[in-house]
């Protein structure tokens, strides 16, 4: 999870106030993130001006020797940081020199999935939501439960790419690394964030290895083949293509507006919506060093380098079953009682949502009071 290293934290509570799911609170002078609410977006990380909130990467020098053969998966969005295909191939060569046996780029998998998204949404009635952005999937699962079943039944492109590799290297001791352009993707790996369901062993952010890559850059190139669907999937402006029944949203706010409309039955003429947590799509990922606007220019100027075609992937590698996490849901009656208690306490609070108590809003504090973790005294405004 997002970790807090804030010995010198000034408790400006910007992270608390900016969190879209009210997952953060200040408890005993420490920022705490409720993993059951966190959607792994990058908003708190960006809003912490001293950068005390961080997402840990795995350290290669501790893990490379554990496997006979190490493979690193390179995200397509990394192209937005490169000036040309040649530049990208040099970067990939430098990444390989960090100690990997193979660098694999998975825009072929993305191309297949991109075509699958479109054909699935055309052949199955109703409105579908894309499944490639881990943050948006978590957001829908936690905040829009009625729409969870509308997320396309496909696994993440990077997971599918990892499964393909596992199949190829059956029974061999391989290590699969995923290089991540965004915070959300960092959680799709066994380490360091304990996602045991993942086929990826280790996650590292682009900025984590960037200083080392710079030193290793030379004229050596690693030949890379790029596929057009990767361009459509990673750049939100490209997702739609010529389809008028497809839309794309960028950022949590835009997604929220649209998801609200869908829940109220107001979207009638679309059959597929691509949801990106980052601006401009995956090229707006927090760990890329270029800005997404320049990145868009860079990646677009390389579009002739992208080839038609896609990877052939077995259905069992692509499809996943989306099971609703059967939490120990309290009975309606218990919940109603709790809810009434919270509302009673809320009436005794100022309801300015100032955040001084360490909760995002007065409701957050009221819930904590009802759960006997806090008292009315915690409210600084009431104290005066």
Which residues here bind another protein, judged by CB under 8 A?
143, 145-146, 148-149, 260, 263-266, 329-333, 335-336, 339-340
Task: Name which of 188, 123, 118 is nearest 159 in CA terms.
Answer: 188
Residues 6+ apart with CB under 8 A from 21: 37, 38, 39, 139, 142, 143
Which CB sits closer to another protein, 124 or 335?
A: 335
Cβ atoms within 10 Å, residue 224:
18
Which ranges of the chain does DSSP label H, i.e. alpha helix? Answer: 14-18, 43-47, 60-63, 85-96, 107-123, 134-143, 157-168, 206-216, 228-234, 236-239, 251-263, 292-301, 315-318, 332-347, 362-370, 380-383
Which CB sits closer to another protein, 268 or 384?
A: 268
Judge contact between 133 and 117, C-beta under 8 A.
Answer: no
Shortest Å distance, C-beta 319 to another protein: 22
Shortest Å distance, C-beta 159 to another protein: 25
Shortest Å distance, C-beta 179 to another protein: 36
Which CB sits closer to another protein, 261 or 376?
A: 261
- Residues paired with 198 in a beta bridge: none
Which CB sits closer to another protein, 220 or 263?
A: 263
- Proportion of the chain in helix, strand, coil states, percent, rounded to 5: 45, 15, 40
Residue 152 CB burial class (10 angstroms; 0-12, 13-18, ≥19): buried
Shortest Å distance, C-beta 353 to another protein: 15
Which CB sits closer to another protein, 244 or 329?
A: 329
d(Cα 338, Cα 126) in Å, to the nearest integer? 36
Omega of the bond leading into 32 within 30 degrees of 0 (cis): no
Shortest Å distance, C-beta 235 to another protein: 30
Which CB sits closer to another protein, 10 or 340?
A: 340
Which CB sits closer to another protein, 330 or 373?
A: 330
Shortest Å distance, C-beta 146 to another protein: 4
Shortest Å distance, C-beta 325 to another protein: 13
Shortest Å distance, C-beta 103 to another protein: 42
Which CB sits closer to another protein, 180 or 258?
A: 258
Task: Name which of 250, 258, 281 is nearest 110 in CA terms.
Answer: 281
Task: Name which of 339, 348, 328, 330 is nearest 370 in CA terms.
Answer: 339
Q: How far is CA 18 from CA 35, 42, 45, 164, 251, in A?
A: 16, 10, 10, 38, 13
Judge contact between 91 and 217, C-beta under 8 A.
Answer: yes
Shortest Å distance, C-beta 9 to another protein: 30
- Structure tokens that stand for 27 in this block: 């408890």
**Token pair 């991540």: residue:** 180
Shortest Å distance, C-beta 110 to another protein: 30
Which CB sits closer to another protein, 242 or 332?
A: 332
d(Cα 162, Cα 156) in Å, to the nearest integer? 10
Which CB sits closer to another protein, 49 or 335?
A: 335
């Amino acid at each position: 999870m997002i970790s807090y290293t804030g010995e010198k934290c000034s408790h400006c509570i910007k992270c608390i106030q900016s969190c879209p799911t009210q997952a953060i609170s200040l408890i005993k002078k420490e920022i705490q993130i409720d993993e059951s609410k966190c959607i792994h977006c990058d908003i708190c990380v960006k809003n912490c001006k001293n950068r005390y909130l961080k997402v840990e990467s795995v350290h290669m020098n501790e893990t490379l020797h554990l496997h006979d053969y190490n493979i690193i998966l390179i995200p397509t969005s990394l192209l937005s940081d490169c000036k040309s295909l040649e530049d990208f191939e040099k970067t990939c060569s430098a990444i390989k020199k960090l100690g990997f046996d193979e660098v694999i780029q998975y825009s072929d998998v993305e191309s297949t999935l991109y075509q699958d998204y479109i054909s699935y949404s055309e052949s199955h009635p109703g409105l579908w939501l894309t499944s490639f952005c881990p943050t948006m999937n978590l957001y829908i699962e936690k905040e829009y439960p009625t729409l969870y079943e509308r997320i396309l039944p496909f696994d993440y492109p990077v997971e599918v790419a990892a499964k393909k590799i596992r199949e190829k290297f059956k029974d061999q001791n391989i290590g699969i690394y995923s290089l991540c352009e965004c915070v959300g993707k960092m959680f799709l790996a066994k380490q360091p964030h304990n996602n045991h369901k993942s086929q990826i062993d280790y996650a590292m952010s682009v900025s984590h290895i960037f200083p080392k890559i710079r030193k290793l850059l030379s004229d050596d190139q690693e030949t890379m083949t790029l596929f057009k669907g990767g361009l459509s999937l990673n750049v939100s402006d490209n997702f739609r293509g010529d389809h008028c029944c497809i839309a794309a949203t960028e950022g949590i706010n835009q997604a929220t507006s649209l998801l609200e409309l869908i829940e109220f039955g107001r979207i009638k003429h679309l059959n597929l919506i691509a949801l990106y947590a980052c601006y401009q799509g995956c090229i707006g990922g927090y760990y890329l060093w270029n800005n997404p606007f320049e990145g868009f220019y860079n990646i677009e100027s390389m579009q002739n380098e992208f080839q038609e075609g896609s990877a052939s992937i077995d259905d069992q590698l692509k499809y996943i079953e989306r099971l609703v996490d059967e939490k120990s849901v309290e009975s309606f009656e218990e919940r109603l009682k709790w809810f009434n208690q919270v509302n009673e306490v809320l009436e005794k609070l100022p309801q300015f949502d100032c955040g001084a108590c360490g909760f995002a809003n007065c409701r957050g504090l009221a819930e904590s009071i009802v759960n006997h973790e806090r008292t009315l005294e915690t409210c600084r405004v009431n104290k005066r």
